[in-house]
Amino acid sequence: MSVIDQQASANAAAPQQPQAGATREQVLESAARAQVAAAGLAQLTRSVKDRALLAMADALLDRRAEILAANEQDVQTAIVAGTPESLVDRLRLNASRVDGMVSGLRELAGLPDPVGTVVRGSVLPNGLHLTQVRVPLGVVAIIYEARPNVTVDATGIALKAGNAALLRGSASAYQSNRVLVGILADAAVAAGLPVDAVQLVPGTDRESVRHLMTARGLVDVIIPRGGAGLIQAVVNGSTVPVIETGVGNCHVYVDQAADARMALEILVNSKARRPSVCNAAETLLVHADAAAAFLPAAVAALREAGVRVHADAAVIDIVGDVPGVVPATAEDFDTEFLSLDIAAAVVPDLNAAIEHINRHGTGHTEAIVTASLSAAEEFVARIDAAAVMVNASTAFTDGAEFGFGAEIGISTQKLHARGPMGLEELTSTKYVVIGHGQIRASS
């Protein structure tokens, strides 16, 4: 079956088995067609793109039952395979999560179009008019694990920013992604977007990923979303530029000047609200002067939320031998659990907390709870992360919470984009120079 036939049959009612092996030619053909679509997308007005986003949102609602049926196939397959519940949760869709995807697309339609925005401009001494304007990146490939909602979020934000989207989800979400991409593609074309503006990359094995990562010249940028293994494999193996995202070994540091009630609420929300996401807290650090009073209440609150505490010796000395507390290993403090587990340690002071975080953290989100302005300012100044929270939950590192609309990921690198990647982060810039016959003098 050709790539074109695959795309055309994406809406077939009967379940389709994933095409495990895809040739390099098939993947490059898909990327080449995306490149053609990207050229057309770059010229579209905001009204056309917004109309397409709203049409896609309506289509998701109209066909929600079909989406949930396909997702149930993926979920049951994962359960039979013995997939951990935390990963099944990342895979599972329900009516509320579909509604969330719909809301994300509608919010995107209401946001300003970044394409064509003037970043800066001036008239040079020689009379040339110089402007720097935002332009689409082109073909954006997203390689991601489990979460089918990424299919919708990534498509929406890529298209709004004028980019073609190449989606390579995991085999575990194949049925969900197949149906979602078919729905989105149909609605987009009907609303005036180019054919192939959104595509599911053929193949579900590692070779298809490798073909995509080496499609330099056809794919402009790759964004990996998933665990550390996936991200490092893409970063280290790609010849296409990569924006590194996702891994979140996030910390909550409770300072000696913290309000205990506030700290408890922030800690539990950061860890237990949704433990399988990258902005969930994975380590609790407590100032030694606050530890004796705070830790027993913290452990009790975490246990009530179903969280197991991997505690260092100092924590165990304070809380004793209680259910739900296990001795921490050295590896625990470098672990993104993505489950109802958290590492915990006592630190002698603010400086030790900062050093611990910068040594073990992944540059995602770090939080301090304190009533001390000087402690907060030092923490903010010295912590090396995309987002730093002062007296707030790590759960707020999110494009929607920041007012960006649906995000494509949390960038943990320092070049091009850092933190929640909204519409502007899915653009580049070009310089437009307008003159009236100026020529440059010989040197």
Instruction: Report pLDDT digits (tens) over 375-389.
Output: 999 999 999 999 999
Q: What percent of the chain has pLDDT over 90?
A: 83
Question: Does 47 score more than 70 pLDDT?
Answer: yes
Residue 141's Cβ-side half-sphere holds a number of Cα atoms within 13 Å equal to: 33
H or E segment to which residue 113 belongs: none
Q: Poorest-confidence range of 75-79, 180-184, 225-229? A: 225-229
* Mean per-residue pLDDT, 203-221: 94
**C-beta of residue 209 within 8 angstroms of C-beta of residue 143:** yes
3-243+421-432: CATH superfamily: Aldehyde Dehydrogenase; Chain A, domain 1 (3.40.605.10)
**C-beta of residue 250 within 8 angstroms of C-beta of residue 175:** no
Nearest to 426 by CA among 160, 147, 198: 160
* Mean per-residue pLDDT, 243-259: 93
Residue 250, CA distances (Å) to 238, 280, 284, 356, 364 in order: 27, 7, 9, 12, 7
* Mean per-residue pLDDT, 145-158: 92
Nearest to 91 by CA among 67, 69, 75, 73: 75
* The CATH classification of domain 250-396, taken from the options 3.40.50.2300, 3.30.565.10, 3.40.309.10, 3.40.50.720: 3.40.309.10
Indicate the domain borders of the chain.
3-243+421-432, 250-396
Q: What is the DSSP letter of 27?
A: H
